[in-house]
Amino acid sequence: MRNVVDDIVAEVVAVCRENRAGALADYIPELAAVAPDTFSLCIATTDGYVYESGDPAIEFTIQSISKPFTYGLALSDRGLAAVAAKIDVEPSGEPFNEISLDPITERPRNPMINAGAITSASLIAGEDAAERFERLRTCFSDYAGRELVMNDAVYASEARTGHRNRAIGHMLRSFDIITDNPDDAVDLYFRQCSIDITCRDLALMAATLANNGTNPVTQQRVLAPDLVERVLSVMTTCGMYDAAGDWVAEVGLPAKSGVGGGVLAVLPGQIGIAVHSPRLDSHGNSVRGVQACRELSKKLELHFM
């Protein structure tokens, strides 16, 4: 039976659909080939109910929204202290792909920029590259509550063109933040970014974080509550890159965006929100994704900070 949230979700989609601003990411050739105007919005509650509107079954690559989940797995594998010794939790105010370390700590400033995310990938446990990726893919699948797979074409496109990320990997190796072969960590990062999801998957991944690390549909525990707290804190301060301040002021929820056009936001204890719309603003955030979250936050009074 439809209720007031169904109506609000449909209303927000109708309003934001008019917005054709922004451009597709084109620095990875395969991302420039997607349909630019698809749009979906899903909300999943911590009791497992999903509200959806638009085209929620369209698949797109998770891209940078993978970063908090890989960070969470690194925290589970190595513990808070070992990860904190490698990755800070300070907002950088820099673009996501900045080739930079904090000049004082000589660590990546946070796990949401590429330098921190490649470091998180280097901390995933496993005997070899295949096992590390499989653990990561299974972990993402557990958040979504269904088997997720990598998009081979996007992975190949990113691996062919990802020179800047390789430069970041080798910089991390030269500062001993990564102590193994940096190309392995960068390859795992390319693979994690190329996992295909739907907007509904993303809403359930967000709802798992909102539900203290337990998937609200399958009831599987994916991340310990104290680590969820850490992941959500870093998403709050760093998830929207150099637009993080505006986001906190206007939407007020921990969030993460990706250049595939996805945005994920979390209202702890209550709901996970996901939007997909591929046209991006100058920060690399989905234009309609940001607009839809702003509208929803206002209409449902979600701003909790």
- Residue 50: CA atoms inside 13 Å, Cβ hemisphere, count? 24
The token pair that represents 224 in the structure block: 């310990």
By 3-state DSSP, what share of the chain in percent is helix, strand and coil, each rounded to 5? 50, 10, 40
Among 111, 216, 258, 261, binds ligand DON (CB under 6 A): 258
Region near ligand DON per CB under 6 A, out of 39-47, 178-186, 210-218, 256-264? 256-264
Q: Identify whether the C-beta of residue 293 lies closer than 8 Å to the C-beta of residue 304.
A: no
- Contact between 286 and ligand DON per CB under 6 A: no
Does 71 carry a binding-site annotation?
no
Per DSSP, the residues of 177-241 read SS-S-HHHHHHHHHHHHTBEE-HHHHHHHHHHHHTTTB-TTT--B-S-HHHHHHHHHHHHHHTTG
What are the residue numbers of the active site?
64, 67, 189, 241, 259
Neighbours of 17 (CB within 10 A): 16
Does 155 carry a binding-site annotation?
no
Region near ligand DON per CB under 6 A, out of 121-129, 200-208, 251-259, 291-299? 251-259
The token pair that represents 169 in the structure block: 């990997």
Does 189 carry a binding-site annotation?
yes
Region near ligand DON per CB under 6 A, out of 198-206, 255-263, 269-277, 288-296? 255-263
Query: Alpha helices, DSSP H only, in 18-151?
Result: 66-78, 80-84, 114-122, 129-144
Query: Count residues contacting ligand DON (CB under 6 A)?
Result: 12
Does 3 carry a binding-site annotation?
no
At closest approach, how far in Å is the CB of 189 from ligand DON? 7
Among 259, 290, 300, 302, binds ligand DON (CB under 6 A): 259
Binding residues: 64, 114, 158, 165, 189, 241, 259
Residues that bind ligand DON (CB under 6 A): 63-64, 96-97, 114, 158, 165, 193, 257-259, 284
Binding region for substrate: 64, 114, 158, 165, 189, 241, 259
